[in-house]
Amino acid sequence: MELIRAFLVGGVICALVQILLDRTKLMPGRVMVFLVVSGTILGWLGLYEPFLEWAGAGAGVPLLGFGNTLWKGVAKAIGEEGCIGIFKGGLTAASAGIAAALVFGYLGALIFKPKMKE
């Protein structure tokens, strides 16, 4: 049941974002930033953690989960190191995801040839 719930929640999040992209003139980059900031704000308000526990990976994998991860890292680093934690906490918490995105993006660029739109 947990697997089905995660699949459905992740699918609903992605479907809502796709509808937002299709129905508005917002650029994809702005929508992605909106998702990360929304995840950060929901984490700060304490609303994202219960949602994450209920939805599992369906809420943790999309960009909303990335924003929440950044928030948790910043909050922990501020508690341990003070104000300098604002700058390094989020990157420390999300470093594995950032590194994976860079490595797989680079590998994808090596394997596939881009085609120009006409």
41 located within any domain: yes
Total of domains in the chain: 1
Q: How confident is the model at residue 15 (pLDDT cuts 50, 70, 90)?
A: very high
Locate tokens 């990157």: which residue? 91
The structure tokens listed for 49 are 């953690």
Q: Which domain holds residue 29?
A: 2-111
User: Does residue 49 form part of some domain?
Assistant: yes
Residue 34 lies in a domain: yes
In a domain, 16, yes or no: yes
Can you give the pLDDT at residue 11? 92
Query: Does any domain span residue 79?
Result: yes
- Please tell me the distance from the alpha carbon of residue 102 to that of residue 95, in angstroms, as a whole number: 11
Place of tokens 């680079």: 106
Residue in the structure block whose two tokens are 């304490």: 46
What is the pTM (predicted TM-score) of this model?
0.79
Whether residue 55 contacts residue 9, with contact meaning beta carbons closer than 8 Å, is answered with: yes
Within-domain flag for 99: yes
Write the pLDDT tens digit of every residue in 44-85: 999 999 998 998 888 888 888 889 999 999 999 999 988 888
User: Using one digit for the tens of pLDDT, what is the confidence trace for 82-103?
Assistant: 888 888 898 888 899 889 999 9
Q: H/E element holding 37? A: helix 28-45
Is 50 within a domain? yes
